[in-house]
Structures are given as structure tokens and as C-alpha cells.
């Protein structure tokens, strides 16, 4: 049970973490994005405030330190983390009936893991593979017709919905091959630390890429909480619909990773 709780926290933490100034509710806070209801807005806003403090004390300083690293190091780290996330994307491609994409992503993973040195170099893209698009179990549930449920802001983990939160637990129930070979099973080559470190690194990478975006969004929002809610829900809906429409969101392609991932 302890491993499950720790894994679920790290799997979603920084990649979905967004902090907000929750003072002064106004008309924007009364509007929900699409049909998703903010059933627990008072609690969500309190959690947002908690996340803001946590972000200022821990996440943002670590992300700023990470940005000091040379660009090639950060790029290689991001590529390797994306390569690992393919292990979640492939089964979701299959569940969604996108068998061609599953084949392409399998090819990407093989090429990048071998020739690309565990994914540090995105060799697959250079030789003509289509651009990588992440898929997760929350998206798959949406494709299957499961409604999002209420909007949630999770401690540390950030914006989510009931559906996306449920989908994230699929990773620790056998849906993530990387989790299976590191945490779920004892192997001679990998350990629990390898999984936890990769999840935390994914969150740090996401936060570092979006330091300026988060600051600008907060500065220019009448109600930062409402803005983040709207952007998150729009982004999730577009990913479920495989839409190419432009959403005013952060420059990372995924809010879960952790991230969801």
C-alpha cells in the first residue's frame, strides 16, 4: 500500500502541478469549462493555495536550478523521459483502436532505446517517424465514453478530474511497463528508485519549461484558478478528441505525466 501511495503521488506530481493565487473570487470562478462541474470549488481553491506555497518553496527553485544545466543535457533528459512515456502510450493506442499508431510508437521506442541511447537522442524523428503524441488511460476512458466527472485539484498533483484521477491508477495496476519492471517486480537491472527518479525528473522538466508561462498566466489572469481550470479542461478535451485546434496552454504537450506518466 505504501508503494502504491508513493507511486501515485510521484507519477502525477510536478507535471500536473500548477499553483494559484486563490484570493478574491469573482464572476470567472462561477463559470465551468464546458460541461465539467467544479463540484468542490471551495476545497479546490484551498488546495490550490497549498500547491502555490509548495511550488514556491520546492518545485520552482528546483526547476530554476535545472534550467542552469546546458541545453543539450536538458533536451536529452526530455527525450529520454518521452521515450519512457511511450510505454504508457502504446497500450492506450491499442485500447483506443489506433493500431497503426501503436505500431509506429513501438518502432519509435525500439529505435530510440537502441540507436538513440535509451532515448536521449530522438533518432526516430530524424529518420522520418511521425511526431510523438502521448496517450494515457484518462484519455482512453474518455474515448470509451466515460464522462470526466467533477473537476478536482489534488494536493501536490494539481488539476485533474475524477476520470483522469481514476485513469492514473491504471499505471500501478499493470498499465505501465516501466512501473512493472522497476516497482512491481524485483529485477536485477532496475529498482524502485529508477521509477521514482524518472517520474520526479519528468515533473521537474515540465516545470522548468514552463516557468515563464506560469508567471505570465498568473500575471495576466483576473482569476488564475479559473484560468488554469479552463485551460486544463480544454487541453484534456482536445487530446481525447485528437484535435489539432490551438489551445492557449503551456508549451509542454502534456499536463499529466506526469505527467500523467
Reported as a single tens digit per residue, the pLDDT across 194-223 is: 888 888 888 889 889 888 988 999 899 889
Residue 245: pLDDT band by 50, 70, 90 thresholds?
Answer: low
Residue 143: pLDDT band by 50, 70, 90 thresholds?
Answer: very high
Is the model's pLDDT at 34 over the cut of 60? Answer: no
Residue 258: pLDDT band by 50, 70, 90 thresholds?
Answer: very low
Is the model's pLDDT at 100 over the cut of 90? Answer: yes
- Give the chain's mean pLDDT: 81
Report phi then psi at 110, rounded to 5: -65, -45
Is the model's pLDDT at 4 over the cut of 50? Answer: no
Q: Any long-range contacts for 117-122 (C-beta under 8 Å, 24+ apart)?
A: 118/80, 118/83, 119/79, 119/80, 119/81, 119/82, 119/83, 119/84, 120/76, 120/77, 120/79, 120/80, 121/76, 121/79, 122/79, 122/82
Question: What is the per-residue pLDDT for 187?
Answer: 77
Alpha carbons 49 and 22: distance in angstroms, whole number? 6
Residue 188: pLDDT band by 50, 70, 90 thresholds?
Answer: confident
Put simply, whether the predicted model's pTM sits higher than 0.75 gets the answer yes
Question: What is the per-residue pLDDT for 174?
Answer: 67
177 vs 26 pLDDT, higher one: 177
Is the model's pLDDT at 259 over the cut of 70? Answer: no
In the chain, the percentage of residues whose pLDDT exceeds 90 is 52
48 vs 259 pLDDT, higher one: 48
Amino acid at each position: 500500500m505504501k508503494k502504491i501511495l508513493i507511486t501515485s503521488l510521484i507519477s502525477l506530481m510536478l507535471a500536473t502541478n500548477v499553483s494559484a493565487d486563490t484570493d478574491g473570487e469573482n464572476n470567472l470562478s462561477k463559470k465551468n469549462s464546458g460541461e465539467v462541474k467544479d463540484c468542490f470549488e471551495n476545497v479546490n481553491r484551498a488546495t490550490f493555495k497549498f500547491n502555490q506555497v509548495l511550488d514556491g518553496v520546492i518545485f520552482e527553485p528546483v526547476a530554476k536550478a535545472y534550467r542552469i544545466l546546458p541545453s543539450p543535457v536538458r533536451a536529452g533528459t526530455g527525450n529520454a523521459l518521452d521515450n519512457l512515456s511511450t510505454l504508457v502510450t502504446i497500450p492506450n493506442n491499442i485500447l483506443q483502436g489506433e493500431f497503426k499508431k501503436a505500431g509506429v510508437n513501438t518502432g519509435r521506442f525500439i529505435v530510440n532505446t537502441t540507436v538513440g541511447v535509451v532515448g536521449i537522442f530522438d533518432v526516430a524523428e530524424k529518420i522520418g517517424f511521425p511526431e510523438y503524441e502521448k496517450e494515457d488511460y484518462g484519455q482512453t476512458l474518455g474515448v470509451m465514453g466515460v464522462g470526466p466527472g467533477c473537476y478536482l485539484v489534488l494536493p501536490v498533483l494539481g488539476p485533474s478530474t475524477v476520470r483522469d484521477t481514476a485513469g492514473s491508477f491504471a499505471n500501478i495496476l499493470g498499465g505501465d511497463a516501466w512501473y512493472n519492471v522497476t516497482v512491481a517486480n524485483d529485477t536485477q537491472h532496475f529498482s524502485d528508485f529508477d521509477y521514482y527518479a524518472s517520474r520526479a525528473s519528468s515533473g521537474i522538466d515540465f516545470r522548468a519549461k514552463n516557468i515563464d508561462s506560469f508567471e505570465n498566466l498568473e500575471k495576466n489572469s483576473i482569476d488564475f484558478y479559473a484560468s488554469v481550470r479552463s485551460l486544463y479542461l480544454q487541453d484534456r478535451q482536445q487530446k481525447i478528441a485528437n484535435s489539432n485546434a490551438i489551445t492557449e496552454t503551456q508549451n509542454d504537450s502534456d499536463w499529466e505525466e506526469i505527467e500523467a506518466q
